[in-house]
Amino acid sequence: MSNTYFRVHPAINIARVGNSDSYYIAPETAAGDLIDKESGLFGGLPTNKDTGKPVEAADFRDSAQKVVRQAARFRIYAYDRPQDAYPGTDPGREIKIGDTVGGKTVKDIVWMVHLANKKNNFFQITSANGEEEGINAYKPGPDGKYNFPPVRDPSIGPAAKDGLEKLAEPERLKKLVIDPGPRTIASSAAPDTVVPFNAATPCTFVDDKGNVVDAPYYPVSFPDDHFKMYQYFGAIDTLGELRIEKDTGRLVIAGGYGRASGIEQKDGGPPPMTDAIDNNYWFDDIADGPVNATVLFDDGSTAEVVAGWFVTSDPGYAPQTRNIVSTWDDIFNTWVENLDLMPDLYSGGTYQSDYKAVFNRDILPVFHGAFLQRWNTNLPSQGINGHDLMASITPRDKPSDRIPSFKSLMRDPNIPQDDDEGVKMPLSLGDATKSFLSVSPTQYFLMMQWYDNRFVADAPPIGPGERLDRDVLLNCLGGRYSPGIELTFIVRDVNLYDQDWKGATGPFRINQDRLDYTPYTEESGRDKIPLGVGYIPLQTARVQPGDLSKFMSQPWHTDYNSCAVHLPDPNPDANNTLYWSWPSQRPVQVHPADLCHYDAEKGVWNLGGQLFSVRGDGSGPENGTHTNLPQKVGRFQEYPDFVENWHKVGFIIQGTQIPADHGDNYGSDKFLEIASLFTGPGDLVQPWPTAVLPTGDD
């Protein structure tokens, strides 16, 4: 057993909120990858938990038309050798109850998960001067002292304190952190066992001998314990629940219900909700935390498993559409350039010119991402033709023949002035303090290697656990963290990770703060404060439950609503063109399936018109989503209206998964909106690019 290493996979996994008790399994194949050449079915689709097949149009909502949650699934893999390279030389094997490992039989697997939400006891996204965002807001100044943005919920805690000192105040740690405590569940549990992260369910943890121990005095905290709350769709009284997948013993974690609640003000009303990303005194039920496990053997011995991490995020409204830059691309770039992940690719501060890109792994996903985004935006015909061309390129093609101007089309992340070139690719808004999106430096290097004919078609497959690490994050947003959707700019900070990765741990692991839960077995534990300030960018504090999601918008709804079309920020001189923020994760203009029309003579479905994915009436004085300002289209004009209506947004899915009146479906060549609960067409979708009206309002 001393030569066996156990790891949870994926290393980081993402679930998504919904307002239904039902769930399906979040995608475990890469968005934008063609996974079935016969049907043309693209990867990245969630899986129906009952059938094990990709979800279809009817699966996104339950019988009451509520949004079904995406749940994250975790597995355990055993490795016979320590990891000394990436990809690992040992592919590993998944283990389950009854398997033999090192001559011992696996008797059970006990999972321990701790979720929390720390958003309110943290800093705002943007610096006090409004000019710094992301990692720049945490860098030390000329005096060597670290800078921090303003504290959220500033009136709670001593007025004389600020910054980290204020965040460490006991009053704030007790009242502003949503913390249900740790939970455990065994793989041997009955399939219908549900362990919620609510106040009524006992806290339990696993000790160093593999025993499940009650922690009855853990100081559980929810907003309604401390404040009178103004609620949207009920109290925030749970952050999700644990289950065991039938017949496999795998862990399934479903997140929250998309709720928001605010501390009631003196006039009896809710707090203001006027900012795209920072709204003081509001809570949501997003959460994150470590996923630990202990393997129990038939001889009474145990083995600890390298932990994974769980994060809840916004709903997945377009699960098959890949981002041109994904979370994986940013994490991979960080590890390549800073943590010696692949010396044959990058070493000594330099990308290695003799490294050969892999077309199907490194190049095709970027082209597919560009190709598929046309279904979430209103690209002009010239842009659509260009994106279609990229998706048609194969490893057999000579790159310079297919795209002669490729090098001049791609925005170079290594050249700052390229950031002002709005006509280059990708056609999306940039990261914090950058006007336009660039691929990561690693992506750019690999794409230039391909263009210079230094590439191979494919590479040997990586192990199944490592593939899960990669594929789940390929379905998530990268490149533009303002602040982001699933994760944020912190994925570029090496301090987020366990950097001692060679050996038992392997890469891409969060630098977990292993909490001691034994004080909460006794009554004196009631007065203790389990979670502190935790991880801070550019500093070495380990990561606690709630530390990944605390960098997100508060609540998540306002950021999602606002990110339709924008001017760049900063905006280059004389630019009056609008761009998209996150078309893969936040569809803007869509093709509803019910607007398509059937050509009986040709036997095909033709597209109808486009609508904004967010369209509807609201209760505020600005009449829902309607506006005469092109820079504000495709969103509710008042943020509370989106909090009321987020669950009405439809889903974008490949036509093969949508039943049709003529033929079996709408075809593999279309990605259409289904299941929208908005009843009106909303504002007219104008051709892109759209000029900004001369009102001075941006």
Q: Tell me the per-residue pLDDT of 86-132, one tens digit each, with 9 for 90 and over.
A: 999 999 999 999 999 999 999 999 999 999 999 999 999 988 877 77
The gap from C-alpha 321 to its chain's centroid, in whole angstroms, comes to 13
Pick from 138-147, 324-333, 449-458: least confident: 138-147
Q: Give the mean pLDDT of 499-510.
A: 97
* 666 closest CA partner among 600, 587, 604, 591: 604
The chain-wide mean pLDDT, for the chain, equals 93
Q: Give CA–CA dist 188/186, Å, rounded.
A: 5
With bands split at pLDDT 50, 70 and 90, how would you rate the model's confidence at 696? Answer: very low
Q: Give CA–CA dist 273/618, Å, rounded.
A: 15
In this structure, the number of other CB atoms found within 10 A of the CB of residue 254 comes to: 31
Instruction: Please calculate the CA angle 354-355-358 and round it to the nearest 5 degrees.
Output: 140
CA distances, 676 to each of 137, 653, 673 (Å): 38, 12, 7
Beta bridge mates, 116: 288
Cβ contacts of 260 within 8 Å, gap of 6 or more: 231, 232, 236, 282, 283, 284, 555, 557, 643
Backbone φ and ψ of 692, nearest 5°: -80, 135
Residue 334 has pLDDT above 90, yes or no: yes
Positive or negative CA dihedral for 28, 34, 39, 40?
positive
Contact criterion met (CB below 8 Å) for 31 and 322: yes
Cβ contacts of 177 within 8 Å, gap of 6 or more: 116, 117, 118, 120, 121, 221, 531, 546
What does 570-614 look like in DSSP terms, one character per residue? SPPTT--B-EES-TTTS--EE-BGGG-EEETTTTEEE----EESS
Residue 30 has pLDDT above 80, yes or no: yes
Q: What's the full length of the chain, in residues?
A: 698
Pick from 132-136, 535-539, 590-594: least confident: 132-136
- Per-residue pLDDT of 271-284, as tens digits, reads 999 999 999 999 99
Residue 69 has pLDDT above 60, yes or no: yes
Q: Please give the structure tokens belonging to residue 60.
A: 């996104």
In this structure, the number of other CB atoms found within 10 A of the CB of residue 659 comes to: 13
Instruction: Please calculate the CA angle 118-122-127 and round it to the nearest 5 degrees.
Output: 145
Cβ contacts of 228 within 8 Å, gap of 6 or more: 263, 264
pLDDT, residue 690, reads 67
Q: Which three-class secondary structure state does DSSP give residue 21?
A: coil
Q: Please give the structure tokens belonging to residue 586.
A: 């936040």
Q: Please give the structure tokens belonging to residue 692.
A: 């900004």
Single-letter residue type at 252: V
pLDDT, residue 2, reads 62
pLDDT, residue 75, reads 98
State percent of the chain over pLDDT 70. Answer: 97
Residue 455 has pLDDT above 80, yes or no: yes
Cβ contacts of 665 within 8 Å, gap of 6 or more: 655, 656, 657, 658, 659
Q: Please give the structure tokens belonging to residue 106.
A: 């696996």
Residue whose tokens read 């916004």:
314
pLDDT, residue 689, reads 65
Helices within 36-161 (DSSP H only)? none
Beta bridge mates, 205: 213
Q: Please give the structure tokens belonging to residue 204.
A: 């339990």
Q: Which three-class secondary structure state does DSSP give residue 326?
A: strand
Backbone φ and ψ of 421, nearest 5°: -95, 95
Q: Give the mean pLDDT of 353-369.
A: 94
pLDDT, residue 698, reads 44
pLDDT, residue 390, reads 82
In this structure, the number of other CB atoms found within 10 A of the CB of residue 200 comes to: 9
Please report, for the chain, the start and end positions of each structural domain, with discontinuous segments joined by +.
1-554, 557-691
Q: Please give the structure tokens belonging to residue 295.
A: 């393997």
Across 104-218, the runs of DSSP E, i.e. the strands, are 104-114, 182-186, 195-198, 204-206, 212-214
- pTM for the full model? 0.96
Q: Give the mean pLDDT of 322-341.
A: 97
Single-letter residue type at 197: F
CA distances, 474 to each of 192, 315, 324, 330, 485 (Å): 31, 16, 10, 10, 13
Q: Give CA–CA dist 330/477, Å, rounded.
A: 9
Give the chain's radius of gyration (CA, Å): 25
- Per-residue pLDDT of 619-643, as tens digits, reads 777 779 999 888 899 999 999 999 9
* 479 closest CA partner among 406, 423, 430: 430
What does 330-364 look like in DSSP terms, one character per residue? HHHHHHHHHS-S-TTTEETTEE-TTPPEEIIIIIH
How many Å from the N-terminal Cα to the C-terminal Cα in the chain? 62
Contact criterion met (CB below 8 Å) for 556 and 299: no
Phi-psi region of 682 (alpha: psi -120 to 50; beta: other; left: phi over 0): left
Pick from 327-336, 339-348, 575-584: least confident: 575-584
Q: Please give the structure tokens belonging to residue 47.
A: 């899986």
Q: Give CA–CA dist 285/18, Å, rounded.
A: 11
pLDDT, residue 288, reads 98
Residue 697 has pLDDT above 50, yes or no: no
State percent of the chain over pLDDT 90. Answer: 79
Instruction: Please calculate the CA angle 258-557-28 and round it to the nearest 5 degrees.
Output: 60
pLDDT, residue 418, reads 65
Q: Give CA–CA dist 264/207, Å, rounded.
A: 40
